[in-house]
């Protein structure tokens, strides 16, 4: 498994790479994808195969810290956040962005990725966070001014799109909606069983009410629909073993819940701060979300939409809805996912 070292401490990130598109004619776009909680970078396996056969997309899936192939956190790094001050929490979040920014800078250099074309229609890179991984993608952009000048210059010239795919409310620094529910909330279920039930539940489909109302009251928070099986039911035991890291739920949840203020500031800077956006002049920002997904993803999309109208003049972030899809479009509908990502990247 290939890795790239991102700092002087020897921190490494493993990655999966679809490679140069086999049918490439024009300069292709490279999408760097950051996975979410529990489900590691092999959640992109089906998409990687399609990207390799495409004409204009290269996909690089990065394994986050602690997930298979990448350097784990130290024994106290995350635990200390629960009692640490705001400076410690901000430093932790900034480091997550810096690591990925360095990874991308080195990847561009090593593999000679094509820059944004003169007409702006091809080339360059997109940065995509999925689910809880959106927090890291946002940190990459929000801390742009803290990187070495070489990294700032390269990312500023290459970054054409920020994609927040199925972002969670937690990833953008919001508390869960009042009616939010997961199996872990039920104390009558043993914690280890609730975790496994919860992972299955996350991959379900949900029938909501009239989404045009933008009302949290119309969302289904608890009961999955039956028109399509949960995504995890389409995975073999070997695939589940390769993709799912049950033991990393706790650390991921801990640092996100402890850093809500910092996550909120990072999201607002990346999406709406003119001084940050000026450093990435090509960058467009998109929310991509399904209409049969979990309530928290729809609630988060609406929250970003409201922020965009309030502080982003209505044009800083655009929203792309994918009909009939859940939280795992890249697994259940990889062709549709690839086509959607192409549409928002170009």
Q: What DSSP assignment string belongs to 198-267?
A: HHHHHT-----S-GGG--GGGS--SPPPSSS--GGGGS-HHHHHHHB-GGGHHHHHHHHHHTHHHHHHHH
Position 136 pLDDT exceeds 90? yes
Domain range for residue 178? 3-345
pTM: 0.98
Q: How far is CA 240 from CA 147, 234, 246, in A?
A: 37, 10, 10
d(CA 173, CA 151) in angstroms, rounded, equals: 26
Confidence of residue 298 (pLDDT cuts 50, 70, 90): very high
- Binned at pLDDT 50, 70 and 90, residue 314 comes out as confident
Rounded to an integer, the average pLDDT of 57-73 is: 97
Interval 173-196: pLDDT, tens: 999 999 999 998 889 999 999 999
pLDDT for 55: 83
Q: Residue 244 in contact with residue 39, Cβ under 8 Å?
A: yes
Rounded to 5 degrees, φ, ψ at 102 are -65, -40
CA of residue 192 relative to chain centroid, distance: 26
* Contact call for residues 270 and 162 (beta carbons, < 8 A): yes
Distance of alpha carbon 9 from alpha carbon 5, whole angstroms = 9
CA distance 34 to 123: 20
Phi/psi zone of residue 270: left (φ > 0), alpha (ψ -120 to 50 degrees), beta?
Answer: alpha
Number of separate domains in the chain: 1
**In angstroms, what CA-CA distances link 101 with 6, 155, 260, 282?**
9, 8, 22, 16
- At residue 2, the pLDDT reads 98
Residue pLDDT, tens place only, 218-260: 999 999 999 999 999 999 999 999 999 999 999 999 999 999 9
Which two three-digit tokens encode residue 10? 């020897």
pLDDT at 274 over 80: yes
pLDDT classification of 340: cutoffs 50, 70, 90? very high
Rounded mean pLDDT, 73-95: 95
Predicted local distance difference test score (pLDDT) of residue 75: 84
pLDDT at position 54 is 86
CATH number for 104: 3.40.50.1820
CA-based radius of gyration for the chain: 19
Is the model's pLDDT at 324 over the cut of 90?
yes
pLDDT at 25 over 80: no
Distance between CA 220 and CA 326 in Å, rounded?
13
């Amino acid at each position: 498994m290939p890795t790239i070292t991102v700092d002087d401490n020897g921190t490494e990130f493993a990655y999966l790479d679809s490679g140069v598109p086999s049918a490439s004619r024009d300069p292709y776009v490279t999408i760097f994808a950051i996975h979410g909680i529990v489900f590691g970078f092999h959640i992109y396996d089906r998409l990687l195969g399609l990207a390799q056969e495409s004409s204009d997309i290269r996909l690089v899936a990065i394994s986050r810290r602690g997930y298979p192939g990448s350097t784990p956190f130290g024994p106290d790094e995350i635990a200390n956040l629960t009692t640490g001050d705001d400076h410690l929490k901000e430093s932790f979040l900034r480091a997550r962005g810096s690591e990925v920014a360095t990874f991308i800078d080195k990847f561009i250099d090593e593999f000679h990725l094509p820059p944004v074309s003169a007409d702006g229609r091809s080339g360059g890179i997109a940065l995509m966070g999925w689910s809880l991984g959106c927090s890291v993608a946002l940190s990459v952009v929000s801390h742009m001014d803290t990187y070495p000048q070489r990294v700032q210059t390269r990312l500023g010239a290459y970054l054409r799109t920020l994609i927040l795919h199925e972002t969670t409310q937690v990833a953008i620094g919001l508390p869960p909606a009042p009616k939010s529910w997961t199996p872990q909330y039920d104390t009558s279920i043993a914690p280890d069983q609730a975790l496994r039930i919860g992972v299955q539940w996350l991959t379900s489909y949900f029938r909501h009410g009239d989404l045009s109302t933008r009302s949290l009251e119309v969302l289904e928070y608890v009961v999955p629909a039956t028109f399509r099986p949960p995504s995890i039911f389409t995975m073999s035991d070997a695939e589940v073993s390769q993709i799912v890291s049950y033991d990393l739920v706790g650390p991921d949840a801990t640092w996100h819940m402890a850093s809500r203020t910092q996550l909120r500031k990072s999201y607002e800077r990346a999406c709406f701060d003119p001084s940050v956006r000026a450093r990435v002049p090509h960058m467009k920002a998109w929310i991509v979300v399904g209409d049969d997904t979990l309530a928290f993803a729809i609630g988060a999309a609406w929250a970003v939409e409201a922020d965009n109208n309030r502080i982003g003049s209505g044009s800083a972030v655009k929203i792309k809805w994918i009909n009939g899809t859940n939280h795992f479009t890249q697994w259940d509908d990889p062709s549709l996912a690839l086509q959607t990502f192409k549409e928002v990247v170009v």
